[in-house]
Structure 1
Amino acid sequence: MKHLKKIHIILLVLLIAFITFLVTDTLKIAFDTDHLKYNVKLDVESNRDTENDSYVKNYQNYIASNPATYPKDKTILVSAKDFTHIEGNYEIINNFNGVAESVLTHEVGSISLPVDIEEAGFYTIRVNYYAYEGKSSAIERRVFINGVVPFDAAENVLFQRYYGNAAVIYQDYAGNDIRPSQVEKPIWTSKLIGDPLGYITEPFNFYLNSGTNVIKFESLREPLLIDSIVIESVKTLPTYEDVKAQYEANNYEVAKEELQFVQAEDAVRTTSPTLYPLNDRTSSRTMPSDPTLIKLNTIGGTNWDKAGDQITWTFEVPKTGLYEISMRVKQRLANGMVVFRDIYIDGEIPFAEMEGYAFKFSNDWRVQTLGTNEESFLFYLEEGTHELTMEVSLGIYGQLISDLQDVIDNLNKIYREILIYTGPSPDPFRDYELANRIPNLISRFKSELEQAKYIRETLIEVSGNRSEKTGILDTVILQLQDFIKRPRSIQNSLSTYVSNISSLGTLVILLSSQPLEIDYFVLHEPGAKMPQSTPSFFESTWFGFRSFLATFTTDFSAVGRVDTGEVNETIEVWLSIGQDQANILRKLIDETFAPENQIQVDLKLVSGASLLPATLSGRGPDVAIGQADSTPVNYAMRNAVYDLTQFDDFDEIAQRFMPSALVPYEFDGSYYALPEQQIFLMMFYRTDIFEELGLTPPNTWREVVEMIPSLQKHNLEFYLPVPLTQGAAIILPPNPIFSTMFYQNDGQFYIDGDRQAGFNEGNGPKVFEQWSSFYTNYSFPVEANFNNRFRSGQMPIGISYYNTYNVLSVFAPEIRGKWNFVAVPGTEYVDEHGQTQIRRETVSTGTGGIILNQSNKKEESWEFLKWWTSTETQMRFGRELEGILGAAARYPTANIEAMEQLPWTVDELTKLKEQWAWVRGIPEVPGGYMTGRHLDNAFRLVLNEAANPRETIYDYVQMINEELAKKRREFGLD
């Protein structure tokens, strides 16, 4: 009995505790009406005093170098048609969307506009423009004032494009919302020229002399239609107190109206195709929400985190008066940070407090009223339609990131100076006397240490606590303190030092990311009762339980399927790419392929290793896309892949691609795949380091050899890729550098009707010896992480596949603008006219789409492959992929016309096309899987055992030939 009594008491206590929790939770939510408590005001100034001409410092020096004159109340309008000089193609367009005369400037050229200034001083420049149709990337221009780019940040200014939903949000067959495609919705708009990186938060101030000045815009990317430019006096935003006093002076009254909701997912336009409606299922209070269906009910999140990205909404004001603005937001992705937004009403920031408005970190959704901790802001709005725009701003982080960039640049420079004496692998037992050899080494470390401490303290002050971001700085601070304390041991920690500098580069990315998710806005009178932002415990539990039950009844593989009209046939397509890519392809199929061809596609995302066993068992798909270069011919030799030349229009379709892209898919006069991607080699180099050392990128392999002493004098390295076997993969591709040099010397991979390897013929042995010498004579690294060493500057030059551009663009922000790429080094020869020419052949890798022989729907499958590799589909797929995942996902399409429509700059595209024309494909033959492996074996023997290169390649060619002969006999080809 006593035992039962004790259990009853425990249960009663638990019940009371649970009831208390429920009551407390309910009361807390019900009485949580303080929507100002999340507001925060921050103001941080840089303490950086450096002689370095860094990005922000360069602009500050420009301001300081001119008289501090700011003329008042000046507005000068200059029509684009009044240009004094123009270069490149251009058009004067009349009556375009309501503008009488405008000038269209293309991707190459410039336009110069005269400006007559009465009073010299600083002015801002506003451009009235229209984002004319191009490649759907931001428009870039270089700004000259009187023939000179005034400061570094003016080297590249951006003009945004505008996007919106292609259609209203619609539903699939089960009632789930389908994300609408984002399409361009260009409008005439105006932009104050400012910093595209967001480090400088104010619009650029340009100093103009009295008299006639010439402002020139040089094209870097995309066409731009210009109506006019406006030269304006530099304006200082009024404070809210000033605006409030004006309200009182004008006798503005508070509007007494019902709550006016604006659903955030119903944005009228954005400046990025990534800013599409999202589905939030974390809260039943999100409007609208459903525990079982996908509802697009928010916008922003991680997609809305880049400086300059804007979202604009329209809303109706029922009555003229003063209103408060509240919004339901979630900021939990930038852990331990505040994020910033510039807030515009009808295109203007109403007062200074709306510039760099802060949203601090919180784990859950909240309703936040715009204002301070003590007072909400009132906005005067007249009856009718208005626009609310929010733009990502770096706020105080802009200056911190600039200071951090300074630290990274200086620490990297010190590292390169240390390398001169220690090399990349220093002797731990040797005293290199670095403190005596390197000028001011310890004092420079102290300077960077103080700056790192300041940034760390500021981040803690802003966020109120430590985080993984301050942890990165803690590690750097500890190491710098150790270096200062024990300078003789610096060389022992160089690898950690480089890793820490890379971590600081990661910190730049983290601080630059400013995500914010929004559910809705509310326009209301002061003191109005706001909707409950968080659900109660019961509400949340019930919502979660229903969501859990839905997982047993919902066919998630069918989510997204819509009615595409009449369907005559259904084919099965397998792909082994990411989920985002699959979703884009699914949407493109439903929008264009299925309704136009009356063929539905059963799209399946499968492992790449699944195709072989499925094909052998007779359960494979009709079409498989994303197949490696080696797959089509290897399957075809086993009668598993269909010969595409059997289709009458194959030759016509093949014109979409470079001939080199089709080479790996050809065997015995038949072709077994259509190319999807083709990635070839380019040479990347650090422009800042080359300028520092007085070097130029080598044009030939001879110049590569001549440049090596200049690099190695500073213990810097040149990167040439050596592919390694990945996991259990059997096929090792032929080394791309050897293949490049071999093709440049008239080499043929296979001779005698593909019966023998051609490495022993002609200049083959000489090329193999020359290639091996880079590693044996000049100590090139065989294995290296090129991306990391390129970031640090240890490898200021290297050859890599051109999609390295994607990685460096996104994950190495600290070297933005400090690197470039050019064609690979070539081999000189004398032509029939006695002129010295350069051959630049190189090789590529890629993927293709195949039709399985077991398919009984080959005509329908061919229609799909033609559609998938078409210019329009490849272009849309590439643009949407980059729109969702950013520049890191720049799509390396094999379609020539589609490649030209992707958002490369003119300069980048020109270099890529010049190299692409030289690309040669490596044929696939029976037994060819041993070619790359034995080539690598020969190389390793020369490298590790100092074997004679010419004799070694001869021996291994015999082994390759034996395998080729064996496979030909196996397949009955001889």
Structure 2
Amino acid sequence: MNKKKKQKIVRYSIAASVVVLFVIAIIVSIVTKDLEAKQFEQKRNTDVMEFNPFIENERRLDNSFLEYGKVLSKYLSAGYPLYQGNPLELRGMDYIPEKSTINSDVKAFTEDYVVDGEVALEADQTAVVTSTSKVTLVYNLDVPETALYNLELLYGLFSGKSANMLIGLTINGKQPFIESSYFEVKRMYEFYEYDRYDDEGNQIRAKQREVFGWQKAVLTHPDGFYRNPYLILLQKGTNTIEISFSREAGVIKTISFVAPTVNPTYDEYLNMNGFSEDKIYKGEAKQIELEVPVLKNDITIRAEWNDDYYSYPPSYDLLHYNIFGGARWKDGGTSAKWTFEVPETGWYQLSFRYSSSVTYVAAYREIKIDGAIPFEDMEEYCFPYSDGWVLKPLMDKDQKPFMFYLEEGTHEIEITAKVGPLRHDIQRIEECIESISSLVRRITQLVAATRQADGSYAVQANMDWDLQEYIPDIVELLESYSKNFYEIYDNIKEANGGKAPYYGSAIKVAAELFKSLAEDTEEVPGAINEVNDTIAGISNTIIAAKEQPVAFDYMIISEKGYTQKARSGFWQNLYVGAKKFYWSFVKDYSAIGAPIIEDEDIDKYPTISVYVATGREHVEILRRMISDEFTRDHRIKVDVNMVAGGVEGQIMLRYVAGNAPDVAISVGAGTPFEYAIRGALLPLNQFEGFEELKKSYIDDAFNPYLYKGNYYAFPETQSWVALFYRTDIIVDELQLDPPDTWEDVYEMLPVLQEKGYDFYYPYAPGNYIPFLFQHGGNVYDEHAMTSSLDTVEAYNAFKEYADLYIKYKIPYAANFYQRFRNGTIPIGIDGHGFFSQLMVAAPELKGKWDMAPIPGHKLSDGSVVRYAGGLGTCSIIISSTEYPEEAWKFIQWWSSDEVQTQYGQEVEATFGVASRWNPANVEALKTLPYTEKEMSVILEQWSHFKEAHNTLGGYYTHRYLNTALNQTILQGKNARIALEDAVKEINKEMLRKQKEFGITDSVLYPSDSSN
């Protein structure tokens, strides 16, 4: 091919590419135009709930056993009026002491509450101080008429653990509805120092702090489940009001039963405020940035950055936090408040530039202006799904903008996340799951299904079961499940503007499954596992349907019909892409988040290098704390390097190459020993202050880091284990107490398994070790020279652990989280990760589970030992450092009570409870927002904390323990023989490594020491 022909082909190729790009741009613009947030009609949007179709005569149950929506249905059927009189007020100190359950913390609020030298709450002798421990205050209230009331509190919270105060309510000895046992009053937060930048010009994330002061709250569902505040029935005459307060301490000034607010319709709102076209504002549009609200009620929602061309200020060059909300602002009940200026009195259009985070998921939000909902459409306004950023006015189903009457001056707008009309379907899903789970238990007992290792069921093949003979209504039930799920699927589409979001697929699958099973019930026994998997899928729908994220850039107040360019097109996206590509070559991403240190001597400070294997935002928090505190106080600069995939392998490579860091944190607990025996680490106990710093940690947490009399690492994180149990099944249904010892577990198991339930204990070599310690055994001898798994104690522990799976048939490969949720395994042992899952992803179990220390073994003196470990991560100093004292100062600072506390709070504020920091520092742990009961369980379990030492060749212990357990449990080998064979191999490897490193007498202690 000649040169000219080649050039011609190239020119044609370029031209064709340009044409293709134009065509793509046109297609994209046409397709996305249909996804630009069209408003739609919301139908069934009421708090009144239908009764459970699977419970006969549920309407007749006492209200204390019913959800609020069903109680409300009974109220309305009975014709109870809304109260319209003056507030019925109780002062905090009006409680009746002899009827109340109080402690020494409960008293009159006689002294001002001062924060940072300023009075946050003025003393009031009629207000009552509550406690972190549960207290119940009893009041008498004279009620003028039988009616429905709202309950309003005037309260102030004291500084605590960033958790909200829990409140329970009973009236005349009964709960008015199920949810009245867990109201919440919330803390308020504000941002500060949001105009700080790093050396590159990137904005540093703003700090946040709690705002103290008197707050007024009308009690509503804490998660925004219902559209309006709770209506509470009071009978005429004297009523006994019992209110409990727990988890966080504060002051209750007044408790008032008030007339419910009935919001006007939009037409009524227009008439009330004298709307006319000539009163519509005609001036210049005002843009109000929404990145920084003045207040918010959740520590995790915050400003984020977005690099869209039209997001302001731009963040495609230098980083700016230019939007608010997004994926973090998804949970009902979370709110933020902004202030804005109105130039003149008149009627305004309110428009928001916003973006949906999840495809086809609409976001429902309550909108208040100056503390009040202007009209009923704002009770749960829908921000329709948009594919990308859009600027849309608040508008009705006909796309006509709502107009708002605003007087000249300063105003507030508060936006609160709500669940929206899907509350009805969430309720119905929960009822279906409960009924399906009950049916599954009946069927598994009927067909004698056997539980498998993974928690699934095995049913005899080639057996025909006439289930209708034993369960006459089975076809009716299956058809009802299918019918309900088809209706729910349609409702999900309707609530999201006609399109089904991702979580709708599980509902449709369930509908089709139960339809097919209803047509052929002989297939039901063989489909039990498929049904259970389906339950898991639709359980996740409950969570997903409640999560409705949305991000805001700005709000515009303007004349009617105003709009401006807010949606990026092809060329804008191309421009931003080019800028980002350029910056990828020149921007120093490792420096993002480090504040500028204003000190003329900064260049004279020594600099230490710290490796950390955590995510970017964790590193940003650390850098900010270092610059604000450590460098300022100690005059030591720190170069923090985020290392992907763990620091362990890179450190040794760099150590050998002569360019290792000075310090590494977040290092796996098994690494320091391997480095220490090779001379790569400095012993930390030789530094001044080691013993003092160690006092805030558990002694046994240092065991893995001991070598030749020195400790080569300092604990950083540490896990805990606990017994988790479903109170509604274990306590209420089966009338059992949580087991205190393993003997209690063995007595409980026949009762559980007879009813189709089971117990969970994770299958792994490491989970044999608690049994070993509880039996009085050890992994190695006192010098860690030989294995101690050949002792009587070790064998007894091994046999008992193996019998859990052999003799008692508990599942060894079950998904405990899913089985706990669906109730088939209502009790078991797990750790903080499982706790976080329940808190974040199983809201339907709220109030239905509890935790206790793990079962143990009873000693002759009657005490129970519950030994268990919980290795996490640690901090180390590399021996090649030129700044050993500076490196130690950094670890002292990082491991201190104050810094671990602050870091834990920052992490939770950034990521939420799902990523709660697990400090090894006991004092820092105590500041985390666990409830008093949860904290007592964790600390009790940590009082039995025990970890084995490391040793040369110790990796064989885990390897051959795993082999011995598999041979015993899965292959049927004799337990004693399997364990003895393992010990031989372990000792053989330990001896080989001792010879390699010249260790002849003790791994743990110096050669001239016997202890």
TM-score normalised to the size of structure 2?
0.89
In the other structure, the counterpart of 1:753 is 783
- Return the match for 1:798 from 828, 832, 839: 828
Q: Does 1:562 align with 2:616?
A: no
1:752-791 matches, cutoff 5 A: 752-791=782-821
Q: Does 1:81 align with 2:97?
A: no
In 2 relative to 1, CA 782–263 (structure 1 residues): closer, same or farther, beyond 3 Å?
A: same
Tell me which amino acid in the other structure corresponds to 2:590.
Answer: S
In 2 relative to 1, CA 838–464 (structure 1 residues): closer, same or farther, beyond 3 Å?
A: same
Asked if the contact 1:182–1:276 (Cα under 8 Å) also holds between the matched residues in 2, the reply is no
Asked if the contact 1:803–1:892 (Cα under 8 Å) also holds between the matched residues in 2, the reply is no
> Whole-Å Cα distance in 2 between the matches of residues 698 and 23 of structure 1?
67
In the other structure, the counterpart of 1:455 is 488
In 2 relative to 1, CA 533–164 (structure 1 residues): closer, same or farther, beyond 3 Å?
A: same
Tell me which amino acid in the other structure corresponds to 1:318.
Answer: P
In the other structure, the counterpart of 1:816 is 846
> Whole-Å Cα distance in 2 between the matches of residues 895 and 13 of structure 1?
64
After superposition, what is the alpha-carbon deviation per residue over 1:727-760, rounded to whole angstroms, capped at 9, x for unaligned?
xxxxxxx432x32222222223222522222233
Matched position secondary structure for 1:163: strand
1:279 deviation in Å? 1.0
> Whole-Å Cα distance in 2 between the matches of residues 594 and 145 of structure 1?
57
Asked if the contact 2:352–2:392 (Cα under 8 Å) also holds between the matched residues in 1, the reply is yes
In the other structure, the counterpart of 1:850 is 876
In the other structure, the counterpart of 2:618 is 581
Asked if the contact 2:662–2:881 (Cα under 8 Å) also holds between the matched residues in 1, the reply is yes
In 2 relative to 1, CA 849–379 (structure 1 residues): closer, same or farther, beyond 3 Å?
A: same
After superposition, what is the alpha-carbon deviation per residue over 1:510-564, rounded to whole angstroms, capped at 9, x for unaligned?
211111111111122334x332212454444334323332222222222223322
- Return the match for 1:471 from 482, 505, 512: 505
Q: Does 1:488 align with 2:522?
A: yes
Q: Does 1:661 align with 2:701?
A: yes
> Whole-Å Cα distance in 1 between the matches of residues 395 and 419 of structure 2?
19
> Whole-Å Cα distance in 2 between the matches of residues 386 and 369 of structure 1?
18
Q: Does 1:414 align with 2:439?
A: yes
After superposition, what is the alpha-carbon deviation per residue over 1:734-787, rounded to whole angstroms, capped at 9, x for unaligned?
432x32222222223222522222233353322222222222222223323222
In 2 relative to 1, CA 7–913 (structure 1 residues): closer, same or farther, beyond 3 Å?
A: closer
In 2 relative to 1, CA 374–306 (structure 1 residues): closer, same or farther, beyond 3 Å?
A: closer
In the other structure, the counterpart of 1:717 is 758
1:522-671 matches, cutoff 5 A: 522-527=556-561, 529-535=562-568, 537-566=570-599, 567=602, 568-606=605-643, 607-608=645-646, 609-671=649-711
Asked if the contact 2:714–2:874 (Cα under 8 Å) also holds between the matched residues in 1, the reply is yes
In the other structure, the counterpart of 2:1006 is none
In the other structure, the counterpart of 1:871 is 897
In 2 relative to 1, CA 234–23 (structure 1 residues): closer, same or farther, beyond 3 Å?
A: closer
In the other structure, the counterpart of 2:168 is 142
Higher mean C-alpha deviation, range 943-952 or range 903-912: 943-952
- Return the match for 2:748 from 691, 707, 711: 707
Aligned residues: 954
1:913 deviation in Å? 0.8
Q: Does 1:71 align with 2:71?
A: no
1:650 deviation in Å? 0.6
In 2 relative to 1, CA 492–133 (structure 1 residues): closer, same or farther, beyond 3 Å?
A: same
Matched position secondary structure for 1:396: helix
After superposition, what is the alpha-carbon deviation per residue over 1:884-903, rounded to whole angstroms, capped at 9, x for unaligned?
22221122111111111111
> Whole-Å Cα distance in 2 between the matches of residues 786 and 209 of structure 1?
46
Matched position secondary structure for 1:821: strand
> Whole-Å Cα distance in 1 between the matches of residues 404 and 779 of structure 2?
73
In 2 relative to 1, CA 874–442 (structure 1 residues): closer, same or farther, beyond 3 Å?
A: farther
In the other structure, the counterpart of 2:954 is 928
In the other structure, the counterpart of 2:53 is 50
Structure 1's unaligned 5+ residue stretches are 724-733
Q: Does 1:322 align with 2:385?
A: no
In 2 relative to 1, CA 275–655 (structure 1 residues): closer, same or farther, beyond 3 Å?
A: same
In 2 relative to 1, CA 939–337 (structure 1 residues): closer, same or farther, beyond 3 Å?
A: closer
Tell me which amino acid in the other structure corresponds to 1:753.
Answer: H
- Return the match for 2:333 from 308, 317, 320: 308
Q: Does 1:153 align with 2:179?
A: yes
After superposition, what is the alpha-carbon deviation per residue over 1:604-641, rounded to whole angstroms, capped at 9, x for unaligned?
22222323323333332211112222211222112111
Higher mean C-alpha deviation, range 878-887 or range 243-252: 243-252
In 2 relative to 1, CA 686–24 (structure 1 residues): closer, same or farther, beyond 3 Å?
A: closer
> Whole-Å Cα distance in 2 between the matches of residues 239 and 623 of structure 1?
64
1:428 deviation in Å? 3.3
Q: Percent of aligned pairs with the same residue?
A: 28
In the other structure, the counterpart of 2:106 is 90
Asked if the contact 2:305–2:315 (Cα under 8 Å) also holds between the matched residues in 1, the reply is no
Tell me which amino acid in the other structure corresponds to 2:753.
Answer: Q
In 2 relative to 1, CA 968–354 (structure 1 residues): closer, same or farther, beyond 3 Å?
A: same
In 2 relative to 1, CA 598–465 (structure 1 residues): closer, same or farther, beyond 3 Å?
A: same
After superposition, what is the alpha-carbon deviation per residue over 1:21-64, rounded to whole angstroms, capped at 9, x for unaligned?
999999999xx9x9995465444566664254699953244345
Asked if the contact 1:340–1:359 (Cα under 8 Å) also holds between the matched residues in 2, the reply is yes
1:15 deviation in Å? 9.1
Higher mean C-alpha deviation, range 242-251 or range 628-637: 242-251
Tell me which amino acid in the other structure corresponds to 1:943.
Answer: I
> Whole-Å Cα distance in 1 between the matches of residues 790 and 27 of structure 2?
84
Tell me which amino acid in the other structure corresponds to 1:769.
Answer: K
Structure 2's unaligned 5+ residue stretches are 114-119, 451-456, 1001-1011
Higher mean C-alpha deviation, range 863-872 or range 774-783: 774-783
- Return the match for 2:226 from 200, 209, 214: 200
Tell me which amino acid in the other structure corresponds to 1:660.
Answer: D
Higher mean C-alpha deviation, range 837-846 or range 394-403: 837-846
> Whole-Å Cα distance in 1 between the matches of residues 577 and 833 of structure 2?
42
1:694 deviation in Å? 3.0
> Whole-Å Cα distance in 2 between the matches of residues 922 and 14 of structure 1?
65
Matched position secondary structure for 2:274: helix
Tell me which amino acid in the other structure corresponds to 1:676.
Answer: E
Tell me which amino acid in the other structure corresponds to 2:907.
Answer: L
1:361 deviation in Å? 0.8
In 2 relative to 1, CA 19–409 (structure 1 residues): closer, same or farther, beyond 3 Å?
A: closer
In the other structure, the counterpart of 1:729 is none
Tell me which amino acid in the other structure corresponds to 1:648.
Answer: E
In 2 relative to 1, CA 251–539 (structure 1 residues): closer, same or farther, beyond 3 Å?
A: closer
> Whole-Å Cα distance in 1 between the matches of residues 507 and 8 of structure 2?
58
1:105-504 matches, cutoff 5 A: 105-110=130-135, 111-248=137-274, 253-282=279-308, 284-331=309-356, 333-372=357-396, 373=398, 375-420=400-445, 421-423=448-450, 424-438=457-471, 440-462=473-495, 463-504=497-538
1:285 deviation in Å? 1.6
In the other structure, the counterpart of 2:1004 is none
TM-score normalised to the size of structure 1?
0.92
In 2 relative to 1, CA 894–28 (structure 1 residues): closer, same or farther, beyond 3 Å?
A: closer
1:202 deviation in Å? 1.9
After superposition, what is the alpha-carbon deviation per residue over 1:401-433, rounded to whole angstroms, capped at 9, x for unaligned?
122222222222222333323231222322344
Higher mean C-alpha deviation, range 469-478 or range 785-794: 785-794
Asked if the contact 1:676–1:849 (Cα under 8 Å) also holds between the matched residues in 2, the reply is yes
> Whole-Å Cα distance in 2 between the matches of residues 175 and 643 of structure 1?
40
In 2 relative to 1, CA 904–36 (structure 1 residues): closer, same or farther, beyond 3 Å?
A: closer
